[in-house]
Amino acid sequence: MRTSRIVAVGAAGIAAALALSACSSAGNGGNGGDTSTPDTSKTIGTVDGSGRTLTVWAMTGDYSDEVMKKVNDEFEAQTGAKVDVQVQAWDGITTKLTTALGTTTPPDVVDIGNTQVAGYANTGGLMDLSAYKDELQQGGTWVDSLAGPATFDGKLYAVPSFVGNRAVIYNKKMWADAGVTTAPTTYDELKSDLDKIKAKNSASDFSPFYLPGQFWYAGMSWVWDAGGDIATSDDGTWKGAFSSTEAQKGLDEFKAFQNAYSSKASQTLNTDKPNEDQIMADGKTATIIGALWDAGLVVSGSNGKITEDDLGTFALPNTAGGSGPAYNFGGGEVWGIAQKSPNQDLALVWTKIAASPDIQNALAAQPWIPNTKELAAEWATKATTLTQGFYDASGVTRATPGAAGWGTIEGNKNMEQFFSSVASGSKSVADAAKDMDATLDSTLNG
């Protein structure tokens, strides 16, 4: 769970050795329409904030107290202003933030999921930061899976903070018991290894590879690898793309893999109920797809039965049979500044500090994936067995459509329902894709 991320990674003792980069592939960034080149000539400069207070909304579990203090101390030293950090719960945050951004007294700086930027920008809630982009980048190259979604209609509305991608986490002992002692590097090897693990473990509630049907973050790897996508944009108009030959080929393979190696009950489930980390901690699966904090939750939930040394990671191999890792969803967080903030000058200073290399290094040790390719590559030299897979997978991250209505798709759990219908067979792949495309067509253009 997101509220447990910092604690979970610390529980496994891997916080100091995050080694991930997050370069994204082309083709799924997020410019929805206007492609004109924005003015980037403005400077943030110095600001006298004496007697003023900046309000920052940060999501629970995203930033350690140490990292936030580091940002605020530098900000106060530079401006003389104070900072009021208000930690927000994830439940109901979209409605709460939408309402707050519409008032005359919004929070000045807000912590936003990268997939949510377009919606807030479209309704006029966020400040256009395009004129300050060069200064906010501070000489680095932002990772594409953050920079793309932070851009809407050709303009920058958010500043990348950190990335979270996904990789395979596996129980090395269980794999070795089945005669598999090295991680697979191809999709065929993966399936062959899982067949051996399946033959070794005959319990009815055991899954060689636990992959819940609703887990679309993982399921999209099969679609992207086959050449498909969620949606495409033509002159600012978005259109669902699951009915393409490529997308349906990927969905067919996802269903075949899910049905072969995960439990039948999982076809209609997501990763939280029951929690996939606890399923692995209880020895009921040898393999999951997870984020960088999941290994820690497996260890902490096993009551000493599984240690950090028992686990390993590897990038999911290209599911279409190509070389290299599979495409994987690149989530993460960004900082936005409220359009109606009376303290935009201070907010720009604070956001620049939060995105600076100094703070990014502190975040990477928390651990999170840095917001620039340069820092990510530097941290990649510190890879461990529990972070190597994420590093290997990070070169091919993808993002969701940068469409105004994407937040509605997420809020309605349309993707979860779609992938579950494919995995369970409640609809044919063609019918499920047709229905999902119709939903995307009517919703994304919001």
pLDDT tens string 89-99: 988 898 899 99
Q: Which residue has the higher pLDDT, 115 or 207?
A: 207
Q: Given this model, what pLDDT does residue 299 score?
A: 97
Q: Cβ(427)–Cβ(225) under 8 Å?
A: no
Mean pLDDT (whole number) for 397-420 = 93
pLDDT score of 38:
52
Instruction: Flag whether pLDDT at 58 surpasses 90.
Output: yes
Average pLDDT, rounded, for the chain: 90
Q: How confident is the model at residue 39 (pLDDT cuts 50, 70, 90)?
A: low
The identity of residue 109, as a single letter, is V
Looking at residue 254, what is its pLDDT?
98
Neighbours of 41 (CB within 10 A): 8
pLDDT of residue 24: 33
- Locate 297 and state its tokens: 């939750």
Q: What is the predicted pLDDT for the residue at 308?
A: 95
Give mean pLDDT, residues 91-120.
94
Q: What distance in Å separates the CA atoms of residue 4 and residue 17, rounded to the nearest whole number?
A: 19
166-329+413-444 shares the fold of 53-164+331-383: yes
Query: Is the per-residue pLDDT at 4 higher than 80?
Result: no
Strands 231-234 and 311-314: unpaired
- Give 227-279 pLDDT, tens digit per residue: 999 999 998 899 999 999 999 999 999 999 999 999 999 999 999 999 999 99
Matching residue, tokens 């807030």: 120
Give domain 166-329+413-444's CATH number out of 3.40.190.10, 3.40.50.300, 1.20.1250.20, 3.40.50.620: 3.40.190.10
Measured over the CA atoms of residue 268, residue 118, residue 30 and residue 329, the dihedral's sign is negative
Question: What does the alpha-carbon distance between residue 312 and residue 151 come to, in Å, rounded to a whole number?
Answer: 35
Q: Class for domain 53-164+331-383, per CATH?
A: alpha beta
Domain range list for the chain: 53-164+331-383, 166-329+413-444
**Strands 311-314, 287-290: parallel, antiparallel or unpaired by DSSP?**
unpaired
pLDDT at 248: 98
Residue 165 has pLDDT above 50, yes or no: yes
Letter for the amino acid at 122? Answer: N
Phi-psi region of 7 (alpha: psi -120 to 50; beta: other; left: phi over 0): alpha
pLDDT at residue 306, rounded to an integer:
97
Tell me the C-alpha to C-alpha distance, in Å, between residue 220 and each of 196, 304, 310, 335, 373: 26, 34, 28, 26, 23
Which long-range CB contacts under 8 A does 357-364 form with residues at least 24 apart? 357/138, 357/140, 358/70, 358/74, 359/67, 359/70, 359/71, 360/162, 362/66, 362/67, 362/70, 363/63, 363/67, 363/161, 363/162, 364/18
pLDDT at 158 over 90: yes
**Maximum CA extent, the chain:** 69
Residue 369's pLDDT is 80
Task: Report the range out of 42-46, 149-153, 206-210, 331-335 with the highest average pLDDT.
Answer: 206-210
Backbone angles phi and psi of 109, in degrees to 5: -125, 135
pLDDT band with cut points at 50, 70 and 90 for residue 364: confident
- List C-alpha distances in Å: 256 to 57, 319, 361, 393: 43, 12, 41, 22
Share of the chain above pLDDT 70, in %: 91
Report the predicted TM-score, pTM, of the whole model to 2 decimal places: 0.84
Question: Using the 8-state DSSP alphabet, how is residue 316 labeled?
Answer: P
Structure tokens of 117?
Answer: 């930027």
